[in-house]
Structure 1
């Protein structure tokens, strides 16, 4: 038996269908109020990486914000954040500054992982998240 609390919904915001079709993954999946967001990277609308970690982090957070909005949630609803860094020690302080611009309070659980590479050689950050719609309201 399925109902609205157990139905699995792929979240595919406008403009992301080609990725869903080509790479066979949903930008996010929602079951009940819980939303799992696939890793977001620092690419602009022309699929060009941002210049440096801070620019890429902002682009990735903007993408995350848009996907959450399409799923009926916001950045304030994030309960878990996982970030993947190609230069973790060098970039962590600058990344944290950008993260705190987008998530200024009620910080989620966060795991930062250093990796040797991401999907494109120019990428330096990838962000994935779990959110619970409506929980960010104080």
Structure 2
């Protein structure tokens, strides 16, 4: 079995090691990104909802950037939200403007009951540009 081609954003590898998962894996020309939340450097939640959603996008962007991708490369996104009626309008306010530009990625929004102290999580699959395909393309 081939070794996973893992992508780490700068400064957060200890957090991923602690929780035993990879932030993203390159495979078959795609980047599979683990769910990103509005966690601070130490892993704690950003307390205010709009700031938490904005930080989740900054954390996502750091991973995409580390892999040579941008929001434009995202093909599929899944949002997980506690209290979707409350969170979804905040998502539209807090998401970066370039995320909300057409043409859009596919999107699935799921209401959940638990996100380990967070209210919002975003998971994506991005198509890697040819120059960013890494070792397992």
TM-score where L is the length of structure 2: 0.82
Larger deviation, residues 55-64 vs 39-48: 39-48
> Counterpart of 2:7?
11
Q: Is contact 1:16–1:27 with CA below 8 Å preserved after alignment?
A: no
Give the superposition deviation at 1:46: 4.2
> Counterpart of 2:107?
110
For residues 47 and 122 of structure 2, the distance between their equivalents in structure 1, rounded to whole angstroms, comes to 17
- SS for the counterpart of 2:54 is helix
Alignment gaps of 5+ in structure 1: none
* 1:15-74 alpha-carbon deviations (Å, 9 max, x no partner): 222133222211000014200100111122343422332111100000000001111111
Change (3 A) 1:20 1:30: same
> Counterpart of 1:33?
29
Question: What's the C-alpha RMSD, in Å, of the aligned pairs?
Answer: 2.2
TM-score where L is the length of structure 1: 0.82
- SS for the counterpart of 1:94 is helix
- Which consecutive segments of 4 or more residues in structure 1 shift more than 3 A? none
Which has the higher relative contact order, 1 or 2, with Cα contacts under 8 A spaced 6 or more apart?
A: 2
Give the superposition deviation at 1:100: 5.6
- SS for the counterpart of 2:41 is coil
